[in-house]
Amino acid sequence: MLDLSDMTRDEFKQARGVLGLSQMKMANALEVSYQTIQAWEQGRNPINKVVEMAVLHLLNTSGKSPKS
């Protein structure tokens, strides 16, 4: 399971995959632009703690969890 320890772009992509969300749907869920999702997944922008917490919340409330 992911914890709050600087989410990597691969962990972010994995979480999005577990949630079954496209980049656009993930952008809508996090209330950011599609381009922001792309930047995180390409490693151009760091993923901050607030976003990491929001992703973990989405995972926890979905009943799904990423495999280690």
- Candidates 64, 52, 39, 48; CA nearest to 12 is 52
The pLDDT assigned to 63 comes to 83
Contact 66, 18 (CB under 8 A): yes
Can you read off the two tokens belonging to residue 26? 């993930």
Sorted by where each begins, the domain ranges of the chain are: 9-62
CATH class of 9-62: mainly alpha
Can you read off the two tokens belonging to residue 24? 């656009």
pLDDT in tens, the chain (68 residues): 445 568 999 999 999 999 999 999 999 999 999 999 999 999 999 999 999 999 999 999 988 776 54
* Helices of type H across 1-68: 9-19, 23-30, 34-41, 49-62
